[in-house]
Amino acid sequence: MKETLDEQSRIGLIHYRMERADETMEEVGKHHIAATTHAGVKSMLGLHFISKGIIAIEHGKTFNTLFEKRHSSDYEASPIATSHWLTT
C-alpha cells in the first residue's frame, strides 16, 4: 500500500531530488558531452555513464524503455486515429 507523505517529508524529498539532479548535472558538465538527437543522447548515456558504472544498467534499461514508449507515442499512428481516417 502506498504511504502518504506529510508536507515536511514531501519538502525534504523534493530538496533531496533537486540536490541529486544538481550533482548529476555537474557530473555531466565534466564530460563535455554533446548530442543533437534523441538517439545521440541515448548513446552518450550508455557510453559515458552506464558503461562506467555511474548509472546502473537497470536504470539505463528504464531510460531506454521510457524513450521507446515516448517515441512510439509521438510517431506511431494509434489504432483509433488510423481507423477514423480509413472510414471517413
Domain ranges of the chain: 7-87
Q: Which cell goes with 11?
A: 519538502
| Three-state DSSP class for residue 51 | coil
d(CA 69, CA 71): 5
Whether the Cβ atoms of residue 25 and residue 17 lie closer than 8 Å to each other: no
Calculate the CA dihedral of residues 42, 43, 47, 52 and round it to 10 degrees: 20
Does the pLDDT value for residue 40 go beyond 50? yes
pLDDT at position 1: 45
pTM score, whole prediction = 0.48
- pLDDT-derived band at 87 (thresholds 50, 70, 90) equals low
- pLDDT-derived band at 57 (thresholds 50, 70, 90) equals very high
